[in-house]
A and B are shown apart, each in its own frame.
Chain A
Amino acid sequence: MKLWVLAVLISFAGYSLSEEENVARLLASKNVLNQYLVEGRDLTVQYTIFNIGGSAALDVNLKEESFPEQDFEVVKGNLNVKWERIAPGTNVSHVVVLRPLQFGYFNFTAAEVSYKPSENAASAVVGFTSAPGEGGIVGSKDFDRKFSPHVLDWLVFAIMTLPSLTIPFLLFYRSKSRYDTPKPKKN
Chain B
Amino acid sequence: MSSKKDKAQKSLTKEEELLLQDFSRNVSTKSSALFYGNALIVSAIPIWLFWRIHQMDLYQSGILFAVGTLVSTYLVAFAYKNVKFVLKHKIAQKREDAVTREMTKKFSDDKKMTRKERDERILWKKNEVADYEATTFSIFYNNAFYLVLLILCSFYVLKNFSPMFNYLMSVGLAAGLLALFSTSNK
Contacts and interface: CB of A to CB of B under 8 A. Distances in A.
Interface of A: 141-142, 144-145, 150, 153-154, 156-157, 160-161, 164-165, 168-169, 171-172, 175-176, 178-181
Interface stretch (B8-16, B95-103, B175-183): B95-103
A163 to B, nearest CB: 8
Given A156-B52, A161-B42, A164-B42, 14 more contacts: A141-B55, A161-B45, A164-B139, A165-B143, A165-B147, A168-B38, A168-B139, A172-B140, A179-B95, A179-B102, A179-B129, A180-B94, A180-B95, A181-B94
Contact of B137 (A161, A168, A181): A168
Contact of A157 (B48, B98, B102): B48
B156 to A, nearest CB: 15
Contacts of B38: 164, 168
B20 interface: no
Greatest chain B CB density within 10 A among A160, A161, A172 is at A172
B113 interface: no
B48 A172 contact: no
B136 A169 contact: yes
Interface in B88-125: 94-95, 97-99, 102
B136 A172 contact: yes
Contact of A179 (B99, B137, B147): B99
A172 B53 contact: no
Contacts of B139: 164, 168
Contacts, number: 68
Contacts of B97: 181
9 contacts: A141-B55, A145-B53, A153-B53, A157-B49, A169-B137, A176-B133, A179-B99, A180-B95, A181-B94
A181 B140 contact: no
A156 B48 CA distance: 9
Given A156-B48, A157-B45, A161-B45, A179 B143 contact: no
Which of A157, A164, A175 gathers most chain B CB within 10 Å?
A164
Chain B contact residues, majority secondary structure: helix
A160 B48 contact: yes
Contacts of B147: 161, 165
Contacts of B94: 180-181
Interface string B44-60: 01001100111100000
B98 A181 contact: yes
A154 B54 CA distance: 12
Interface in B27-49: 38, 41-42, 45, 48-49
B134 to A, nearest CB: 9
B98 A180 contact: yes
Given A165-B144, A168-B137, A175 B132 contact: yes
Contacts of B133: 172, 175-176
Nearest to B42: A164
A128 B42 CA distance: 61
A16 to B, nearest CB: 60
Given A160-B45, A168-B139, A172-B140, A150 B95 contact: no
A172 B98 contact: no
A161 B129 CA distance: 26
Nearest to B138: A168
